[in-house]
Amino acid sequence: MNKNENHQIIHQSYEDISLQIHTRDEHTISRKQISDNALKVLYRLNGAGYDAYLVGGGVRDLLLKQQPKDFDIATNATPEQIKKLFRNCRLIGRRFRLAHIMFGRDIIEVATFRGHHQEAEKNISQQSKDGMLLRDNVYGSIDEDAERRDFTINAMYYNISDYAVHDYAGGVEDLEERLIRLIGDPETRYREDPVRMLRAIRFAAKLDFDIEEETGEPIEHLAPLLVDIPAARLYEESLKLLQAGHGLETYHLLREYNLFQQLFPVIAPYFTSEYDSHTEQMLDLVLDATDIRIDEGKRVNPAFMFAALLWYPMMGLTKQLMDSVGLSDYDAMMEASNIIIEQQIKSTAIPRRHTATIREIWQLQFRLPRRTGKRAYRLMELNKFRAGFDFLEMRAQIEGKEIEELAKWWGTFQTAGRNMRQAMVNDLGGAGSGSKSNYRRKRPAKSKAAKGNK
């Protein structure tokens, strides 16, 4: 398909878009619900003669009577014009230039209306041969901007000049029907930016909406397009998907549409039709636990989640290395850790600070069974001990038996008094915690020359 044909398809698919204006008395949004900093930006832009709208998720959430996470603004002012208006502004982005207005830690994002990238006279964009947008600094009108937005429920604009909501794609109706619907031809829009497939899943899980049939139909066979998305971007998307409070539901939707398999290709071989492999049980456990922590307002560590997700694939490779190469269990685990993490970061670029923690959590699983002498006391002093223990407890729910007993021992040891701790260590005796879970590292045999020098 050439550019002109692609351009034609997009505009044909926009023919049914028509503006509906909901006046102040026809919607429930109040300025009292909008942050003071967002209002300052809106009013200053409007006072300088520019159009200024609250847009996207902020409008959507306010109409759903939810508190928006962010207040994003769209305007006909260019990034350079915005910067002149605000001393506390910085311009960011290469794929599409944005203005960030800084109010301490609060950042209000302001975007210039986007235009159609196929129009030659405006073209400051670049597409791949498959239709993916690589660069997109094309400015246009609010109508074009609405057509360029991904979902109908994100194409609503709150106008600060008259407090009306401008709905360009039937977003208000889709909110009422609880539908996630793409604007334009779904396959074309997914090819422009394959991450839109992930966004469809994320919004469906977050809002408890259904994905409209035509919007969902192409996803499964277009899912492999994600391989062309930079791994750093997919890492950020994976956190939005799995660590935003709806991770368990999101994971099941991602699997249904063949998307999770693209994000975590090293995990996919461990999937079963019954959803009952150790890997799948761990996915359910860790994502459910993450959702609960977020709901309780507790912090979550991406490294812990990734350590849990990748544990059984790593252990599967460990066993292969032990059987095929003859490595000790510990050495095989170290080698398998490097291989699994290296493979995973090709898809989602987990930062080094997290991969280091992942390795520490995994190594602790091999060290926690070794509790004799002073080892138990020393292990408790380690920085990542708590994370290692929490993960051990998760494994116990899946593996039972020895791991369950080991987790109970450590749970008691942490809360026991000094005398009881010593008694618990003494009770282990010289045999440690059993040969199967002692994970001793094999030492190389001494050479004949070394023996002769004794």
Catalytic residues: 70, 72, 150
User: At how many degrees (to 10) do helices 231-242 and 247-256 cross?
Assistant: 120
309-340 as b/e: b if 16+ CB within 10 A: bbbbbbbbbbeebbeeeebebbbbbbbbbeeb
Residue 84 near residue 110, CB atoms below 8 Å: no
Chain-centre distance for alpha carbon 390? 22
71 touches 34 (CB < 8 A) = yes
In angstroms, the CA 406 to CA 314 distance is 21
Cα gap 296→270, rounded to integer Å: 31
Instruction: Using CB atoms within 10 Å of the CB of residue 230, give its burial: 0 to 12 exposed, 13 to 18 middle, 19+ buried.
Output: exposed
DSSP conformation letters of 251-290: HHHHHHTT-HHHH-TTTGGG--TTS-SHHHHHHHHHHHHH
Distance CA 65, CA 228 (A): 37
Terminal alpha carbon distance of the chain:
78
By CB atoms closer than 10 A (0-12, 13-18, 19+), residue 437 is: middle
Rounded CA-CA distance 201/210 in Å is 9
C-beta separation of 27 from 158 below 8 A: no
Q: Which helix (H) or strand (E) holds 393?
A: helix 385-399
Q: What 3-state class would DSSP assign to 91?
A: strand
C-beta of residue 214 within 8 angstroms of C-beta of residue 183:
no
Q: Label the pairing between strands 98-103 and 106-112.
A: antiparallel
Q: Is 136 helix (H, G, I), strand (E, B) or coil?
A: strand
User: With contact defined as beta carbons under 8 Å apart, do 151 and 18 qualify?
Assistant: no
Q: Residue 398 and residue 279: Cα distance in Å, rounded?
A: 9
